[in-house]
Amino acid sequence: MDAGNFDIVVIGAGMAGATTAAHLATDYRVALIEAEDAAGYHTTGRSASMWILGYGPPDVRVLTSLSRGFYESPPAGFSDQTLTRARQVLTLAGPGEETALRATVAGIPGARAATVAEARALVPALRPDYAAAAAIEDGFDLDVAAIHQGFLRMLRSRGGALALRHRAGRIERRGGRWHVETSDGATFAAPVVVNAAGAWGDGVAARAGVAPLGLVAKRRTGAIIDPAPYAVADWPMVMDFASTWYARPEARTRLMVSPADETPMPPQDVQPDELDVAIGIDRMQQALAIEVRRVERSWAGLRTFTPDGSLGFGWAPGHDGFFWCVGQGGYGIQTAPAAGRFVADLVAGRDPGAAAAIMGIVDPARFMA
């Protein structure tokens, strides 16, 4: 692929890059480049995602709400799979947390306070002395693989190029274009570069001579267990109010357990830590009377945050044509359809509609002061 063949180069083919590239490809010649053998290897491919309206800061909640319609009624041909499955979210509060839980619930549409008896009816394994109050919120599981592949398919159908095994190296601005040299010797050139490299976003910026935002990658661990004799297929996702653990049904007969860890670390092919796995199971067992005979599988993924925890979407001040699309944290899947369209609208100079309300919150220029 020769230099000068594209209008926009998107770096990083995880969910953020895929959705952005797919939406941009309607009007532009787009190249989506990815360092790994598979798109979404580090974060998207390790996500156990749900759509939860009350999860995340205000800017995330706006994009989460705007993504609901797409997930419930995707465009024709987007995927052969059903993208969603209804699942409630059950939050358990311990003694002394009741008032704070009620205040939180009051600010979330679709959430309501629940009795401990209701919680035990939903999750029969709940220990009688664990919770002092509970809350229930409507949500749904997301088929992450189907969603990601749907956006990559959309990109290709609109004439976009997906280049795997093309790690971005030197990035230079010459003659009104960004020239992105990749690990296999190819060069992609375009007036606009979208940095959707996740945990590697600051590194990509540094190679382009752009000041970093101070992104922090954090490890999140998950483990699969057999919850027998309990049948968990229709259980809600269960979490504690302090966000120190959660569990959700997996593959209908299994339970995924996490300590909700957020361990800062350099960008890498992150692996699970045995202690984190043990901590997650111990915290879950304090709440649920489930015997864990063995861990069937464990994994870890990276969730990347800006310094203030909100999204980083916008032009890099002082660097023509360099656009940030980073800081999705643990919210990248549930916000993906609206986030991709929002970024595409900003890149194209279009009115982003209802998402315009968060432009000031997510602008990366806030870190340049």
The percent of residues in the chain predicted with pLDDT above 90, rounded, is 91
Is the pLDDT at 315 greater than 90? The verdict is yes
> What is the rounded distance in angstroms from the CA atom of residue 324 to the CA atom of residue 201?
8
Q: What does the pLDDT look like over 133-154, one tens digit per residue?
A: 999 999 999 999 999 999 999 9
Q: What is the band of 369 on the pLDDT scale with cuts at 50, 70, 90? A: low
> What is the rounded distance in angstroms from the CA atom of residue 86 to the CA atom of residue 205?
39
Q: Check residue 36 and give its pLDDT.
A: 87
Q: Check residue 35 and give its pLDDT.
A: 86
Q: Check residue 3 and give its pLDDT.
A: 46
The strand order across the sheet containing 168-174 reads: 168-174, 177-182, 187-190
Of 352, 89, 54, whose CA–CA distance to 240 is shortest? 89
Over its C-alpha atoms, the chain yields an Rg (Å, rounded) of 21
**Tokens coding 361:** 């919150």
The model carries a pTM of: 0.94
CB of 87 closer than 8 Å to CB of 252: no
For the chain, give every domain's residue range.
Answer: 8-50+144-214+307-367, 88-138+216-305
Is the pLDDT at 37 greater than 90? The verdict is no
CATH of 8-50+144-214+307-367, one of 3.50.50.60, 3.40.309.10, 3.10.20.30, 3.20.20.10: 3.50.50.60
Residues 6+ apart with CB under 8 A from 169: 180, 181, 182, 183, 207
> What is the rounded distance in angstroms from the CA atom of residue 304 to the CA atom of residue 132?
33
Q: Strand 192-195 relative to strand 8-11: parallel, antiparallel, unpaired?
A: parallel
Q: Answer whether the bond into residue 264 is a cis peptide, omega within 30°.
A: no
Mean pLDDT for 320-333 is: 96
Of 180, 210, 194, 201, whose CA–CA distance to 346 is shortest? 194
Residues 6+ apart with CB under 8 A from 79: 143, 146, 147, 149, 150
**Tokens coding 226:** 């057999």
> What is the rounded distance in angstroms from the CA atom of residue 313 to the CA atom of residue 127?
43
Q: Check residue 145 and give its pLDDT.
A: 93
Q: What does the pLDDT look like over 55-100, one tens digit per residue?
A: 999 999 999 999 999 999 999 999 999 999 999 999 999 999 999 9
Alpha-carbon 263 to chain mean position: 17
User: E strands of 306-345, at which residues?
Assistant: 312-315, 322-326
Residues 6+ apart with CB under 8 A from 283: 240, 244, 245, 259
Q: What is the band of 4 on the pLDDT scale with cuts at 50, 70, 90? A: low
Mean pLDDT for 195-221 is: 97
Of 341, 305, 257, 317, whose CA–CA distance to 43 is shortest? 305
> What is the rounded distance in angstroms from the CA atom of residue 212 to the CA atom of residue 205?
6
Mean pLDDT for 183-197 is: 94
Q: What is the mean pLDDT of the chain?
A: 94
CB atoms within 10 A of CB 271: 10
> What is the rounded distance in angstroms from the CA atom of residue 42 to the CA atom of residue 60?
21
CB of 46 closer than 8 Å to CB of 270: no
Of 18, 38, 27, 2, whose CA–CA distance to 159 is shortest? 27
Q: What does the pLDDT look like over 157-169, one tens digit per residue?
A: 999 999 998 889 9
Q: What is the CATH number of domain 88-138+216-305?
A: 3.30.9.10
Is the pLDDT at 337 greater than 60? The verdict is yes
Q: What does the pLDDT look like over 248-302, one tens digit per residue?
A: 999 899 999 999 999 999 999 999 999 999 999 999 999 999 999 999 999 999 9
Mean pLDDT for 212-237 is: 97
Q: What is the band of 1 on the pLDDT scale with cuts at 50, 70, 90? A: very low
* β-bridge partners, 2: none
